[in-house]
Amino acid sequence: MSNPQQLRYSKEHEWLSVAEDGVSTVGITEFAANALGDVVYAELPEVGSTVTAGESCGELESTKSVSDLYAPVDGEIVEINQDVVDDPALVNSAPFEGGWLFKVRVTEEPADLLSADEYVAFTAG
């Protein structure tokens, strides 16, 4: 499993891109997508809503279970990935590309986000 080095990772298995103009893209990791199984439904936060790091902001439903989606940062949702809402399997087939979940205008980023190497060590333990 290869986690892109340029991303940061939460211990709840979300990834976060480096902010461009204050906006970051968020998705779940390949590790989380594999653990969930085939994702069949995605409930994403509403555009304009605010999210708080570590708090639930949506959910993903798979053939195995329902899992909360956690915000990795504080901020305002500026876009959701409608393609994932229409075809939730994108979360499994392309978790780091077309399977991204939402974009957030970051107001605060927690200090405990992990590098790719730290995330690999976290998931191995």
pLDDT digits (tens, 9 = 90+) for 28-48: 999 999 999 999 999 999 999
State the Cα–Cα distance between residues 88 and 3, nearest whole angstrom. 20
What's the chain's average pLDDT? 95
Q: Contacts from 93-96 at CB under 8 Å and sequence distance 24+?
A: 95/15, 95/27, 95/28, 95/29, 95/30, 95/32, 95/33, 96/4, 96/7, 96/15, 96/27, 96/30
